[in-house]
């Protein structure tokens, strides 16, 4: 039987994770829209309604399994927001494409910083509501940092690889483009290898440092 504390903790985890991953996707579409791409808006994907963004596997099943298994961190994903990069590049060049690629990560890091600034006011709650807000802010810092760092990994199709590709196109770094093209077909395999092995500890070190810095 779950206690009130358990229910509050789970609710805080679910809400903070959904705000992190759904907002991440919306920002991709919103920045693309600012550069003339109406694809996401026309598809109704700039809405804050979580139902239109939920991916059954990435938003529900994977985080739930990680939580139940006692994983040291949680992460997930929402349905990718459709973006027409040709339109974005036509209006803003490769720099605009980089901005779109990094929009979600920028959102995650900004939200983590904001949550960390508010968290000290709720780290010693005097009510169940205060406890919920404190937990929500703490998990918002953790999950947004983890998602931000994870998405910066240079493995296609993650945001870091996309941004690196457009940066290489801007400065005509053909060797970088060639490397990304070669690893793109096995990008998901590389991700699984990293996540499922001790390599994850190294790749998530920046996330651990940032979380300690923001939460003191």
Question: For 82-104, what is each residue's pLDDT tens digit?
Answer: 999 999 999 999 999 999 999 99
The Cα–Cα gap between 56 and 130 comes to 30
The Cα–Cα gap between 88 and 124 comes to 46
What is the count of structural domains for the chain? 1
The Cα–Cα gap between 167 and 157 comes to 15
Q: What is the pLDDT, as a whole number, of residue 73? A: 65
Q: Which residues contact 117 (CB under 8 A, 6 or more apart)?
A: none
Structure tokens at 46: 């700039």
Mean pLDDT to the nearest integer, 46-71: 81
Q: What is the pLDDT, as a whole number, of residue 72? A: 63
End-to-end CA distance of the chain: 33
For residue 70, pLDDT beyond 80: no
Residue range(s) defining the domain that contains residue 88: 4-215
Provide the pLDDT confidence category of residue 59 given band limits of 50, 70 and 90. Answer: confident
Provide the pLDDT confidence category of residue 64 given band limits of 50, 70 and 90. Answer: confident
């Amino acid at each position: 039987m779950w206690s009130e504390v358990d229910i509050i903790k789970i609710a805080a985890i679910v809400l903070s994770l959904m705000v992190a991953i759904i907002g991440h996707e919306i920002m991709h579409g919103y920045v693309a829209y600012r550069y003339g791409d109406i694809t996401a808006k026309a598809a109704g994907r700039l809405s804050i309604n979580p139902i239109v963004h939920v991916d059954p596997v990435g938003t529900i099943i994977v985080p739930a399994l990680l939580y139940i298994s006692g994983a040291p961190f949680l992460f997930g994903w929402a349905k990718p927001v459709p973006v027409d990069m040709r339109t974005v590049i036509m209006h803003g060049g490769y720099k605009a494409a980089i901005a779109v690629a990094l929009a979600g990560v920028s959102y995650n890091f900004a939200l983590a910083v904001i949550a960390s600034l508010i968290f000290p006011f709720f780290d010693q709650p005097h009510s169940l509501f205060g406890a919920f807000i404190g937990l929500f802010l703490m998990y918002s810092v953790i999950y947004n940092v983890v998602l931000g760092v994870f998405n910066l990994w240079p493995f296609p199709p993650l945001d870091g690889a996309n941004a690196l590709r457009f940066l290489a196109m801007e400065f005509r770094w053909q060797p970088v483009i060639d490397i990304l093209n070669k690893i793109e077909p096995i990008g998901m395999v590389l991700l699984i290898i990293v996540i499922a092995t001790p390599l994850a500890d190294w790749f998530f070190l920046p996330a651990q440092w940032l979380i300690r810095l923001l939460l003191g």
